[in-house]
Amino acid sequence: MIDRDILDKIKARHEEVQQKMADPAVAGDPQQIAELGKEHSRLEDVVAAIERYEAMIEERADLRELAEDEDGELADMAQAELDDLEDRLPETERALRLQLVPDAPEDDKSAIVEIRAGTGGDEAALFAGDLFRLYMRFAEGRGWRIETISLSHGTQGGFKEIVFSVEGEGVFGVMKYESGVHRVQRVPETESSGRIHTSAATVAVLPEAEEVDVDLKQHELTVDAYRASGPGGQSVNTTDSAIRITHEPTGLVVTCQDEKSQHKNRTKAMRVLRSRLYEKKREKQQEERAQERREQVGSGDRSAKIRTYNFPQDRVTDHRLTGDEKNYALADVIDGDLDDIIEALRMKENAERLGEI
């Protein structure tokens, strides 16, 4: 059984949040109301699940009493209902335990996604382009908005690197499972002999930080303007519109040159810098995850993989999953259907965290 004290604390917090939302002093603070509203919405569902679970526990006690104290047909009916309830109770308890696992506070945020070609040369750049299109379709299906922040084209197509934002409700809580090394096995367009090649691209997903999340001091920033290079519009390559921002305390450097406007490039670069610094802050606060980003991205080598896209076998394998859950139809995934994979990874993560409850 789930610890009664935990359930009572959650119900007490639910009542406390309701009281705070009704407080006139709180009603005048939009940010606090928004935060309390999100917590209240989540707690409403959890409390409803707790009440269903507690009703089943109470019903089980009543049926046991009937089965033990009564005779004949009434006792048999009580025992049959008790057996049915006993069969359903473990799944109800498991589902409740999963709901008791709180979402990380950053899960509601939008995300900054960085895709970089790894091992495999031109084919890796082409694969990075495939991943970008995959995420575009996935985002469109969920009603999210994608905006390119910076990119570097591959010599034969695709991208050496592309950084973009994904805006919408709960984006990071979903996209965070895409962080890591993605491997592809196929006959590349760049291969004339028909041999299957193995290439890789790295994906890093960062929660997009707000200004309140990271205290960026202007005197800690070195901002350089320079002339953009590579493909671009008329004024992109002829004016000093490109921006490089260096955060002196950490040595982090962010560049952006895609916009004609120096101001727009600076704004985009600041978004990336703020999110990278926020990620560093998260890692410091959560010591057990201090190696997370390096483990996510790794070196771009084929061996440090989280997922393999096998074209000859028409299969995508997620190496963090096991059994039937780990393999998916390649055509569906490439077309942006990540829902089943994400849900399986979410359930796996929540199940691992249940030990804390």
Same domain, 295 and 278: no
Which structure tokens are listed for 288? 């057990």
| pLDDT value, residue 218 | 86
Same domain, 198 and 318: yes
Same domain, 174 and 309: yes
Percentage of residues in the chain having pLDDT higher than 90: 45
- CATH number of the CATH domain containing 339: 3.30.70.1660
Same domain, 144 and 126: yes
Domain of 25, in residue numbers? 4-100
Question: Which tens digits make up the pLDDT trace of 326-355?
Answer: 999 999 999 999 999 998 888 788 777 655
Higher-confidence residue of 20 and 297: namely 20
Helix (H) or strand (E) holding 337: none
Same domain, 55 and 197: no
| pLDDT value, residue 56 | 95
- CATH number of the CATH domain containing 90: 1.20.58
Same domain, 202 and 298: yes
Query: What pairs with residue 202 in β-bridges?
Result: 116, 181
Q: Which of 100, 129, 149 is the last residue of a domain?
A: 100
- Least reliable range by pLDDT among 182-186, 213-217, 232-236, 305-309: 232-236
Tell me what the mean pLDDT of segment 149-155 comes to: 92
Same domain, 189 and 309: yes
Sheet holding 221-226, edge to edge: 221-226, 242-247, 252-256
Tell me what the mean pLDDT of segment 109-135 comes to: 94
79, pLDDT greater than 50: yes
| pLDDT value, residue 211 | 67
Query: Quick count: other Cβ atoms within 10 Å of Cβ 90?
Result: 9
Do 260 and 235 touch, CB atoms closer than 8 A? yes
Question: Which tens digits make up the pLDDT trace of 123-136?
Answer: 999 999 999 999 99
303, pLDDT greater than 70: no
Query: Quick count: other Cβ atoms within 10 Å of Cβ 113?
Result: 25
Same domain, 189 and 295: yes
Pairing of strands 159-167, 242-247: unpaired
What's the pTM? 0.66
Q: Which of 46, 65, 100 is the last residue of a domain?
A: 100
Q: What is the DSSP letter of 208?
A: P
> Number of structural domains, the chain?
3
Query: Quick count: other Cβ atoms within 10 Å of Cβ 86?
Result: 13
Supply the angle between the helices 72-100 and 339-353 in degrees, to the nearest 10: 100
Question: Which tens digits make up the pLDDT trace of 44-71?
Answer: 989 999 999 999 999 999 999 999 988 8
Same domain, 78 and 169: no
Q: Which of 285, 305, 326 is the last residue of a domain?
A: 285
Same domain, 92 and 129: no
Do 197 and 230 touch, CB atoms closer than 8 A? no
Q: How confident is the model at residue 231 (pLDDT cuts 50, 70, 90)?
A: low
Q: Which amino acid is at 234?
A: Q
Same domain, 137 and 47: no
Same domain, 274 and 295: no
The top-scoring range by mean pLDDT among 128-132, 230-234, 258-262, 266-270 is 128-132
- CATH number of the CATH domain containing 252: 3.30.160.20
| Nearest-angstrom CA–CA distance, 169 and 274 | 19
| pLDDT value, residue 233 | 44
